[in-house]
Structures are given as C-alpha cells and as structure tokens.
Amino acid sequence: MQLKFLALALAVGTGLLAAPAMAENRCGWVQNPTPGNYWLDDRDGSWTILTQGSDLEPDGIDNMPDFSAGQFVQTNGYYGYACACMSVETDAAEMRITEIRSVKQLPLSKCKNDRTLPKPEG
C-alpha cells in the first residue's frame, strides 16, 4: 500500500499525471453577428468561441443554446447577441474558449447593468 501511495505521489509531483483543467465562470455578451462566428465579451476582454472557416472548435460547442429562444437582440437578420454565463476552459494567451461545459442565458438587463462589460456590437 505504501509503495502505491509513494508511486502516485511521485507521479503527481513530477507532473506525470496532469491535473484536470479548472473551469472558469465567464459572464457577458455572447455575440453571433454572422453564421459561424461567436465570441464572448466579458470584463476581461473578447474571447473567441468559434470563427467561420477555422478548424478550431471548442469541445462542448453543442452546449451552446439557441439564444434566440430567450432574450436576444437581432442585429443582422437571425444573428445578434444575448447575455449569458458560461462555464468554460480557456487559452488565456490566445483569448480563446477551448471547452464549453455549460451555458446559462440571462436576461439582457443583467449585462446592460454590469458596468464592467463593454457595450455589445450592433
């Protein structure tokens, strides 16, 4: 038993076992101005979720809801923006969301009243 514990401690201590990535809770304007283009503007900046024509797609993209079913501002036909909180993993150096664990759409007033958020486009 002690040998197993020692081996596990050594593996963790030397980085042989990667710790699971921690999810971040990010809230702000989810913008979808045109087909295949999504980003989240929060207090820390603009996070790319998906870019049309790019092969970089975050894991869990299927967790994105139909924002137009809730409070949604149309700015370009069927496209526009909504307010949401997302549980995500990110690549901070690239300002990119790499995994979407969950999304909760919020009333537009929640983002409108948050002075730390930039105004949405459109």
Q: Class of the 19-112 domain?
A: mainly beta
Q: Where are the alpha helices (DSSP H) in 1-122?
A: 2-13, 108-112
Res 6 pLDDT > 90: no
Per-residue pLDDT tens over the stretch 82-120: 999 999 999 999 999 999 999 999 999 999 999 999 999
The string of DSSP codes covering 12-33 is: HHTTSSPPPPPPEEEEEEEEE-
Per-residue pLDDT at 5 exceeds 80: no
What is the reported pLDDT for 18?
60
pLDDT of residue 55: 86
Beta bridge partners of 84: 28, 105
pLDDT at 86: 98
* Domain regions of the chain by residue span: 19-112
The rounded distance, in Å, linking the Cα atoms of 90 and 99 is: 7
Tens of pLDDT, residue by residue over 18-41, are 656 789 999 999 999 999 999 999
Residue 61 pLDDT > 50, yes or no? yes
